[in-house]
A and B are shown apart, each in its own frame.
Chain A
Amino acid sequence: MIPALEVLETGPLVLIEDEGRPGHASVGVGHSGAADRSAHRLGARLVGNDEHLASLEVLLGGLRVRARGRLTVALTGAPAPARVDDRPIGHASLVDLAHGSVLTLGMPAAGLRTYLTVRGGIDVAPVLGSRSADTLSGVGPPPVRAGDVLPVGPAGATFPHVDQAAHPSHAVPWGSGDTGVAELEVLPGPRSAWVGGWGSSLGGLLGTTWHVHGDSDRIGLRLSGFRVERAAPYRDVELPSEGLVRGAVQIPAGGAPVLFLADHPATGGYPVIAVLTASAIDRAAQLRPGDLVRLRPPP
C-alpha cells in the first residue's frame, strides 16, 4: 500500500505548497510557494524532509485526514488545537500516525495558516518543477478537497533530530485586534522617491497604524486606515508595468497599500515604495482581517 493521507474534511482552504516555482516570471508565472516559508521549513526540519518537499497549508483549520500506512507528521505555523483520534497533540512536535488514525485540526486562536508536514512530503505530480498551488495563475495542484487521497513520498535519508521545536512564532504578537500591533520591517523599494523617500517616512507608510482589510488573500494583504500620498513631481505620472517581488509594498491609485504575498502577479503598474524583509513576509502571511500592523525600517 502506498502511504497516503485520505482527506475527510477541509476547512475554508487547504493548499499543497512547497518552496515555490522560480524561473517562469517572465512568462507570467510567479514563484508562489508556502505563504509562511519559515513555518513550512520548520515543519520540514522537524520531520526530516528536504525543504523542497510539499506540505499542506491549512487556512483557519477545519482539516480532517486519515493516515494510510504509518506516517510521521508535524504541525507548524498558526498554533491550532489538534488531536489524533481522541488524543490531543502538541504544536511543532513530531507526531506518529498509526494506519487508520484520524488527525483533526481545529481553528487557530491567532494567525491564519497552519502547516501539516508529512515525512516524505505530499507527493502529487510537480508542475514546472514545483508542487505549489498558485491561486493567481492557476498553475499547480488544485485546492485539496474531501475525498482526495494525497500520496506521501518515500522518506529521505535524513532522520528527525528533535521531537519538538521551540517555535518563535509563539513569542511574536501577530497582532490580533486586541492583543497588539504586528510590526513588519521594510527595506527601500525601487520607487521610494515617488512618495518622498525615507525622509518623509515613505509618505506616511511608516508610523501609521494600519488595519488589515478583509479583501486579503495569498496574492496580497490590503491595508486601510490612511492614504499614502505621492510626492509632487510624481502626482500625475503613470508607471509602466515592472517586475514584482514577494513582499513588495505597492501603492495603487487610491493610496491604500498592498503587501504582496506568495501568489503576487509577475508584474505590476503601480509604484513599489518598500519591500518587506523575509521574516516580515512570513509574519504578514499570518495576519487576519482586522489585525493592526505597523511598518518600520530595520533597527
Chain B
Amino acid sequence: MSDEPAPASRRGLTVLPAGPDALLLEVSGAAESGIAEVLALHERVRAAVDRGEGPWPGVIDVVPAARTVLLHTRPGADLPALGAAARALAASPPPPSSPPAQGEVEIVVRYDGADLAEVAAMTGLDPAEVVRAHTSTLWRVAFGGFVPGFGYLVGGDPRLQVPRRESPRTRVPAGSVALAGEFTGVYPRASPGGWQLIGTTDAVLWDPDRSPPAVLTPGTRVRFVDIEASR
C-alpha cells in the first residue's frame, strides 16, 4: 500500500477510494453543472441499485453531494467491480426520456422571514419581487446532510443568490425557509444556522414514523407557494 492509488477517470467520472466498504464517485463539471451531473448520476445509480444486477446489490447507501456520489457497500463487496460498473454507467448513453423518478411537492410558505428585507436590499429587488422569484421556478433537491430531512435545493432564479449571514444564528426556528449561495432550504427542526431567512412553513419535512420519513429526498422537485397568493 505504498503507492498512491491512481484515480481512474473516464468521460469525466473519477472513482476515488473511500476505505474498505465505500467508493466516492466524482463528476468533472464545475459548480452548478457539477450538481446537474451529480443529479443525473445519482438517478442512474439508484436505478441500478433498484434493478440489483451485477455488483449493485452490495450497495447499502448512496449519498449524493455537491460534486460526488458516495457508494457505501456491505463488508466484503467487490469494490473494483463496482468501480468498473459505475464508470460504465456514467459512460453509457442516458436512458431515453426517463420519467422523473421522484415526484413534485408543493410547500406553502408565509414569506415573513427575519432577513427578507435584507435579502431584498442585497439583490436589488423589493420583498414582493423576492417572493415572486422564489415561487416562480421549479426547484430540485440536489442533496441532503446537515440535519435529518434537510435538503439543498437548486434551480432557483439566479437573482436570489445571496451570501450566508456573517454571524450564524444560534437558533433558527423549525420550518424556516432560507437562502444561501445558489441554494434554498427549509430547516426541518430548530437548529443553529447561517442562512438568510425569508419565510416559514408549517410543512413537516421530517417524521421518522412516516414512510418515507423525509419529504425532500435527492431528485425531488419542489414548488414554493406564497400563502397570501393561495388564499
Contact residues of A with B, CB < 8 Å? 22-29, 31, 127-128, 137-139, 187-193, 197-199, 240-245, 247-248, 265-267, 272, 275-278, 297-298
16 contacts between A and B (CB under 8 A): A22-B72, A24-B213, A26-B144, A28-B144, A128-B213, A189-B19, A242-B66, A242-B68, A243-B22, A243-B68, A243-B69, A245-B72, A267-B65, A267-B144, A272-B18, A276-B19
**If the complex has contacts A198-B2, A266-B145, are A190 and B20 also in contact, measured as CB distance less than 8 A?**
no
B208/A139 in contact, CB under 8 A = yes
Stretch at the interface among B93-101, B146-154, B158-166: B146-154
B216 contacts chain A at the CB level, 8 A cutoff: yes
B21/A245 in contact, CB under 8 A = yes
A243's partner among B63, B75, B149, B151 (CB-CB below 8 A) is B63
A22/B19 in contact, CB under 8 A = no
Other contacts beyond A27-B149, A247-B19: 19, CB < 8 A: A22-B61, A25-B63, A26-B61, A26-B63, A26-B218, A27-B144, A28-B147, A28-B148, A28-B150, A192-B17, A197-B4, A242-B68, A243-B63, A266-B144, A266-B145, A267-B143, A297-B1, A297-B2, A298-B1
B17/A27 in contact, CB under 8 A = no
A187/B208 in contact, CB under 8 A = no
B4/A266 in contact, CB under 8 A = no
A188/B145 in contact, CB under 8 A = no
Measured in the bound complex, the distance between the Cα atoms of B214 and A71 in whole Å is 38
Dominant secondary structure of chain A at its interface with chain B:
loop
**If the complex has contacts A24-B213, A128-B208, A275-B20, are A245 and B66 also in contact, measured as CB distance less than 8 A?**
no
Smallest CB gap from A245: residue in B? B22
Smallest CB gap from A31: residue in B? B61
A278/B65 in contact, CB under 8 A = no
For chain B, which range describes its interface: under 10, 10 to 19, 20 to 34, or 35 or more residues?
35 or more
**If the complex has contacts A22-B72, A26-B64, A187-B1, are A245 and B148 also in contact, measured as CB distance less than 8 A?**
no
CB distance from B201 to the nearest CB of A (A): 17
B72/A25 in contact, CB under 8 A = yes
B116 contacts chain A at the CB level, 8 A cutoff: no
Contacts of B148 in A (CB 8 A): 24, 27-29, 137-139
Measured in the bound complex, the distance between the Cα atoms of B70 and A241 in whole Å is 11
Q: Which 9 A-B pairs have the closest CB atoms?
A: A243-B70, A275-B19, A243-B63, A240-B66, A267-B145, A190-B16, A27-B214, A197-B4, A190-B24
**If the complex has contacts A193-B4, A242-B70, are A267 and B63 also in contact, measured as CB distance less than 8 A?**
yes
Measured in the bound complex, the distance between the Cα atoms of B24 and A187 in whole Å is 14
Residue-wise, chain B 120-156 has the 8 Å CB interface mask toward A (1 for contact) of 0000000000000000000000011111111100000
Residue-wise, chain B 206-226 has the 8 Å CB interface mask toward A (1 for contact) of 101000111011100000000
Measured in the bound complex, the distance between the Cα atoms of B22 and A69 in whole Å is 43
Contacts of B20 in A (CB 8 A): 187, 275, 277-278
Measured in the bound complex, the distance between the Cα atoms of B75 and A278 in whole Å is 9
Contacts of A139 in B (CB 8 A): 148, 208
B65's partner among A189, A199, A241 (CB-CB below 8 A) is A241
Measured in the bound complex, the distance between the Cα atoms of B212 and A297 in whole Å is 40
Contacts of A128 in B (CB 8 A): 208, 213
**If the complex has contacts A26-B217, A267-B65, A277-B20, are A192 and B145 also in contact, measured as CB distance less than 8 A?**
no
CB distance from A21 to the nearest CB of B (A): 10
Which one of A23, A28, A193 has the highest number of Cβ atoms from chain B below 10 Å of its Cβ? A28
CB distance from B215 to the nearest CB of A (A): 9
Contacts of A192 in B (CB 8 A): 4-5, 17
B70/A245 in contact, CB under 8 A = yes
B3 contacts chain A at the CB level, 8 A cutoff: yes
Which one of B63, B70, B144, B216 has the highest number of Cβ atoms from chain A below 10 Å of its Cβ? B63
Measured in the bound complex, the distance between the Cα atoms of B59 and A245 in whole Å is 13
B213's partner among A27, A190, A266, A297 (CB-CB below 8 A) is A27
B144/A189 in contact, CB under 8 A = no
